[in-house]
Amino acid sequence: MSSFDRLSTLDIAADVAAGVRSAAEIAREALARVAAYEAVQPQVWIARLSPDQVTAQAEAVDRRIAAGERLPLAGAPFAVKDNLDVAGLPTTAACPAFAYRPEATGPVVQRLLDAGAVLVGKTNLDQFATGLVGARSPYGACGCVYDRKFISGGSSSGSAVAVAAGLVAFALGTDTAGSGRVPAAFNHLVGLKPTKGRWSTRGLVPACRTLDCITVFTSSTREAAAIDEVVAGFDVADPYSRRPPSEGGAPLPDRFRFALPRPEQLEWFSDAQSARLFQGAVARLQAMGGLAVEIDIRTLLAAGDLLYQGPWVAERTAAVYDLLRERPSAIHPVVRQILEGGLRATAVEAFQAEYRLRDHQRDSEQLWEIADVLLLPTAATIYRIREVLAEPLALNANLGRYTNFVNLLDMSAIALPAGFRDNGTGFGVTLIGPAWADRRLLALARRYEEIAPMPEPPPLDLSGAPQSVKLAVVGAHLAAMPLHWQLTSRDAKLVRRCTTAPVYRLYAMANATPPKPALVHAGAGAPIEVEVYELATEAFGSFVAEVPPPLAIGTVTLEDGTEVKGFVAEPRALEGAEDITALGGWRAYIAREQARA
């Protein structure tokens, strides 16, 4: 068995309940997997519980099982996207300047813990859940587990990778425009996006609060159904929680109708392999007893356009308005560009767009009169990380073509694997139903999964990093600082946060724009906070070429005695500079200056 074979939530829970394995044993195995994968994609995680904390959770589960409790998720290790609150861990939404420590754990996470699941940590995401690429984070860009040159999909990037790489059994994501579905497609996962309000969103940093859903990534539909059974339910303290209709949703009959777009409306962005794989999924549904019905999806696409091209972007702006107004440089440049667009939306435009959306909603209701379910590609194609960094908005829009409208039109959805491209990246399809069709979709998805074997996934991309250089940064290149983009645009990967050896002094240079520090080897000094990044050799060379005097790149000794490349300073950098060594790092200096302003 490979160290990174997928973990099964249900198999783990059954083994723990039967005493075949203990939750503590499984926790130790998960921790070993996380440690081993650290060398491949350290950027999967933003925060993790300590090994002792994870093991203590698992031991508590073992005691509950021994006392006779029935725990449907006993011992299953899981992760949560870092825009969901967990007491004791910071919530960052992938923006260090936004971080806060919640006093309470969100109800969905708490229900999982109560059911015996074991939390490992919090995962990376496109900052403020704004994006479908997984490359808009100061903590690094996550890559598809089968070929890391390609995007993992976002915004729930770290959660999808953690499940697909076999680090945890399941993981929570969120979905406003497709973030719980696109990463599922690229990494050969099931992604369940419930009806809005079916799962409580209390404890979630909002992207668009009226549209947001918490979602789950699993390796099978049975696992997704088990998670839904645990966490679904009305939450009186959540103003967006909804009570389901009393009639519920009966399973579809053996013969059912599924809608799909007219051929001329299927845009593949020149990806012929995706088109071929989609036809395979159509044939799969037909083999299940489905009758294909072609429909006009123009109203769905027009509704989806409202999400970013209409005033709904202002709802994203509202979620982080104070930070955008007071510290715009702390926000990722692409995310900031999107959020600033919301400042220009007017109330009149918002109402006009609402009226258009109501028209689209009424038009889309006719779909359920002629079909039981809608089948769409989850995403038409996939891109390399370097491609989305070079063209972030247009390519992101392409990825959302078949996902953006779903929450706006109050639909439920489940994303399913549908094969692999020649490059090894996953292709997926989504079954979409009206609101509260969740269980019906889960039952149909299980039939889809069981009618014929799915192709075996390719091996994980565990190749060593390309020839690379480790670089310590100390000032304006730190995460969320003004020049950090010079690292992210070169696919730099965060390796560690630490301090230097206690032989350096730190100075705030005079008249530097943006403000910059000078790190000087002084023999007698103090530990200075740094972040260490890994860059491909070619990228490092282009980075060095942009470093202006009086700064330069030299060698910096870290706290453990290892040496990496890092910023050093010429003597003239100290002219008029302030010695800020006692503050211990540049972030403390910036915080002090902001407090004085």
Query: Residues 177-216: pLDDT tens digits?
Result: 999 999 999 999 999 999 999 999 999 999 999 999 999 9
For residue 15, the number of C-alpha atoms closer than 13 Å in the C-beta half-sphere is 15
d(CA 43, CA 531): 13
d(CA 481, CA 98): 13
Per-residue pLDDT at 1: 35
Specify the 3-state DSSP secondary structure of 470.
Answer: strand
Please say whether the beta carbons of 107 and 141 come within 8 A: no
Please say whether the beta carbons of 223 and 168 come within 8 A: no
Per-residue pLDDT at 250: 76
d(CA 147, CA 467): 17
d(CA 72, CA 10): 8
Q: Which tokens belong to 193? A: 């996006």
The mean-pLDDT minimum among 30-34, 182-186, 218-222 falls in 30-34
> Rounded mean pLDDT of the chain?
94
Q: How confident is the model at residue 465 (pLDDT cuts 50, 70, 90)?
A: very low
> CA nearest 565: which of 518, 590, 532, 516?
532
Please say whether the beta carbons of 249 and 439 come within 8 A: yes
What count of other Cβ atoms lies within 10 Å of the Cβ of residue 186? 32
Give the percent of the chain with pLDDT over 70: 98
Pairing of strands 290-295, 256-261: parallel
Per-residue pLDDT at 466: 46
Bridge partners of residue 584, in order along the sequence: none
What count of other Cβ atoms lies within 10 Å of the Cβ of residue 459? 11
Task: State the catalytic residue, choosing from 81, 493, 516, 565.
Answer: 81
Task: State the catalytic residue, choosing from 8, 22, 152, 155.
Answer: 155
pLDDT in tens, 411-459: 999 999 999 999 999 999 999 999 999 999 999 999 999 998 888 899 9
Strand runs (DSSP E) across 73-189, as ranges? 77-81, 118-123, 143-144, 147-151, 170-175
What count of other Cβ atoms lies within 10 Å of the Cβ of residue 504? 24
- Is 179 considered catalytic here? yes
Domain with CATH 3.90.1300.10 in the chain: 9-450
Task: Calculate helix-pair angle for 9-18, 23-37, nearest 10 degrees.
Answer: 150
9-450 belongs to CATH 3.40.630.30: no
256-263 mean pLDDT: 98
pLDDT in tens, 55-76: 999 999 999 999 999 999 999 9
Task: Give the residue carrying structure tokens 């995460």.
Answer: 479
DSSP 579-590: E-GGG-SHHHHH
> CA nearest 162: which of 217, 225, 213?
217
Distances (CA, A) of 550 to 8, 522, 523, 528: 55, 17, 21, 20
Does 261 sit behind a cis peptide bond, omega within 30 degrees of 0 on the bond before it?
A: no
d(CA 419, CA 278): 9
Distances (CA, A) of 194 to 11, 125, 265, 454, 473: 24, 20, 26, 24, 42
Region of residue 309 (phi > 0: left; psi between -120 and 50: alpha; otherwise: beta): alpha
d(CA 91, CA 101): 6
Please say whether the beta carbons of 525 and 540 come within 8 A: no
d(CA 192, CA 173): 10
CB burial of residue 555 (10 Å; 0-12, 13-18, 19+)? exposed
Residues 6 or more apart whose Cβ sits within 8 Å of residue 14: 20
- Is 155 considered catalytic here? yes
Task: State the catalytic residue, choosing from 157, 179, 220, 412.
Answer: 179
193: enclosing H helix or E strand = strand 190-193
d(CA 222, CA 9): 9
What count of other Cβ atoms lies within 10 Å of the Cβ of residue 47? 17
d(CA 339, CA 320): 9
Domain with CATH 3.10.490.10 in the chain: 468-596
Per-residue pLDDT at 3: 59
Q: How confident is the model at residue 249 (pLDDT cuts 50, 70, 90)?
A: low
d(CA 218, CA 190): 5
pLDDT in tens, 154-187: 999 999 999 999 999 999 999 999 999 999 999 9
SS (H, E, C) 214-262: EEEEECCHHHHHHHHHHHCCCCCCCCCCCCCCCCCCCCCCCCEEEEEEC
Task: Classify domain 468-596 at the CATH superfamily level.
Answer: Gamma-glutamyl cyclotransferase-like (3.10.490.10)
Specify the 3-state DSSP secondary structure of 39.
Answer: coil
Residues 6 or more apart whose Cβ sits within 8 Å of residue 214: 84, 108, 172, 173, 174, 175, 194, 199, 200, 201, 204, 231
Please give the single-letter amino acid code of residue 328: P
Bridge partners of residue 144, in order along the sequence: 147
- Edge-first strand listing for the sheet containing 578-579: 517-521, 504-508, 578-579
The mean-pLDDT minimum among 128-137, 180-189, 547-556, 588-597 falls in 547-556
Q: How confident is the model at residue 148 (pLDDT cuts 50, 70, 90)?
A: very high
Q: How confident is the model at residue 468 (pLDDT cuts 50, 70, 90)?
A: confident
